[in-house]
Structures are given as structure tokens and as C-alpha cells.
Amino acid sequence: MSRFRILVITVLGLVLVGCGSAPAAPSEPPRPADCPAPTSSDLTTADGWLGRIAGQPDTVGLVLDDGRGRVVSHEADRPFPLASAVKVVHLTAYAAAVADGRIRPDEQVARADWERWYVPGTDGDAHPTALQRLGPGPDYAVDQLVTAMIRESDNAAADWLRARLGDDALRAAAASTGWVDVDLPSFAGGAARLAMPDLAPAGADRARLAVLDAELGRRVADEPAFHDEVVRRIAAAVRQDPAQFVADNEAWTATSALGTPAQLLGVHRAIATGSVPGADVAARHLTWQGPSSSGTIGFKGGSFVDVLTFGGFLRRTDGSVGYAVILGRDLPVVPLTGQQARGQQELVLDALRSPGGLDRLACVA
């Protein structure tokens, strides 16, 4: 394998927008009478994800609320690695800051300031791809950085935004959706800890590692020599022993930012229903692909080497809104996760679009 996606988000062709009223309290649908046992293990398909839930239930968590009174959940309150799906918290904080005037969308950011947080080789080329779309700079509007964070899933943009707004703003944004004590990631700091595992105290718990990652992220941004050493070590690890680097990544993902399906769903619901400040701003970014024949999808996904995550909402053409989050961990390691992510998303989107799809999911959840 020549490249591994270690701190990245997989952005796929899907669509949703807007605000709506909160749905009635949903209920668990009855288990369908006819539930054939899933036989597929191919995670590039929806059937494969059904098989995964049935056969390895502790590796998948999900909540799906169809917005019409039915909900399916599985391990909804169990923490899972979120990967870049957590960036919807950054987006919610940005939207609130725009709404109350703490930040202007047209505020200019120097490319050099943005790229202080960029660690090449750790984002599946998200940053170079964003630059291709936005142009070479030398300056960008804050709102352009936010598009890079959501569309290409640029990690440097997320870290820059966290530094600009402050941790209190991100925590308050999460709390406004019902998510208390959100686990904030530092993507640059996480890359540094992966490159230099000796910097982490032996036996450190997740809370201590989160503090450490924030400190290391600041060093990446503020100390050019440290930044360059992190980049050098990442490149050397990939070159010298790719298999060991993947194994190190798998161990690292278990220490990354965690959240439950129910917590992540609450953020998407708050944006879609307009119950948080600046929800229209957040919805505009999540629904950048526009409407499709079945409605409009707002979404943010993510991936590590053995993790795939997706959260979003569907505003149907009849005006109803459904919500879905699915988080997978300890998945088979593949060089590129895009096809597996499509299978994951196909499963929940089909359940939002059709009663039959919801029944199929209810059979295994």
C-alpha cells in the first residue's frame, strides 16, 4: 500500500438542507415478521453493513429517526471514534459565532496561517484538493476555510477554526444541541502523537490524551522545527514499515475523539430544525451538493484506517425530515475507504427514503 488515510473524512456524493419543526417523539418500529438472515460481508454494499451489524454488533452504532414517528437504534449510547464526523461541532460553533458577530465569514486568513496546522501525509490529500478548488491564495475568507473543512474535510481548517474560536465556543455549541462534555480533537496534535508515541505518558487515559493532543497541536502550529519533525517521522514510518504504521494507526484510533450516535444525531437535528444560533449557516455548508430527486441531504462523514462514520439529515420533497448517524469501528483495513463509505451511507439513506429500507435495518438493529 502506498498511502493510508489516517486522519481524514470521506466526502461522498449525497444531498439535504433547511430548517423544520421538531418531529413527534419517535418509537421503535416493531421487528418485521420476515427477517432473512444477512449473508453478505461486503462493506461496499448496504447488505454487507447489515451483515456486519448482525455478525459483529459491537463494531457498529447507529440511530435513525425517520421523522415520521419511527426510530431504529443500535448501541446508540456507546462511544465510538468519530473521525472527521466530529467537525459538525466546529461548524455549529462557527455558525453561532457568525450569528452573534464574533467572526465574519469574509474575514481574511493568510494561507501561511492556515497551513501552520497542516501535516502533509495525514489527510488523504484533503488539503491539496481544497487548494485546487479554492485557488492558490495567498489569502482566503474564513467561510472558504469552512467549506474546505466540510467538503474536502481539511483537518488544518478544523484546527485553525478551533484556535480562532476557542474551546469554550466549541463546547458551548455542542452543549446547545444536548451534547455535554464533547471530546474535542486536535488533528495536528493527534498526528504528532502518532508520529512520536513516546510523548504520551504510559497508561494515560482519554482525557489526558486530549489535553496532550491540544498541546502538541499548538506546537505543530507554533514551532516550525517541531512541525517539520512530525512530517519527517510520518513519512519515514510509512516508507520503512507500512504494515506497522497501519497497526499503529489502528491502536491510535481507539484513543481518538469519541462520541455516541445519539450525541452526533443531536447536532444534525439541531441544525436541521433551526434550534441553534446560525443554523441556516451550518445547513448551507452541510447541504452544499444541493437537492436530488428524493430531497436534500446535509451530511458530514469521516474515516480512519479502521473507522467509518456518517451523520446527516434528509429533507424530503414533501417537507418531512429524517436523521441518521452510523459509526463503524474495527473495520477491515483497506487502502481507500470510499467504496465502504458508500455502502454504509446507502444503508441509512435507503432506510430514510423507504419503509422497506427501514424494515431491513430494524431486522438487525
Q: Could you tell me which residues are beta bridge partners of residue 313?
A: 298, 323
Q: Which three cell numbers stand for residue 44?
A: 461496499
- Predicted TM-score (pTM) of the model is 0.91
Summarize pLDDT for 65-79 with one digit per residue, the tens: 999 999 999 999 999
CATH fit for domain 1-365, picks 3.20.20.70, 1.10.357.10, 3.40.710.10, 3.40.50.620: 3.40.710.10
Yes or no: say if 220 and 212 are a contact pair by the CB < 8 Å rule. no
Summarize pLDDT for 304-359 with one digit per residue, the tens: 999 999 999 999 999 999 999 999 999 998 765 689 999 999 999 999 999 999 99
Residue type present at position 335: P
Between CA 161 and CA 284 the distance in angstroms is 18
Summarize pLDDT for 281-318 with one digit per residue, the tens: 999 999 999 999 999 999 999 999 999 999 999 999 99
The pLDDT value recorded for residue 186 is 98
The residues spanned by each domain of the chain are 1-365
> Phi then psi for 75, rounded to 5 degrees?
55, 40
Between CA 270 and CA 19 the distance in angstroms is 9
Q: Could you tell me which residues are beta bridge partners of residue 61?
A: 327
Between CA 44 and CA 89 the distance in angstroms is 28
SS3 349: helix
Average pLDDT (208-222) is 97
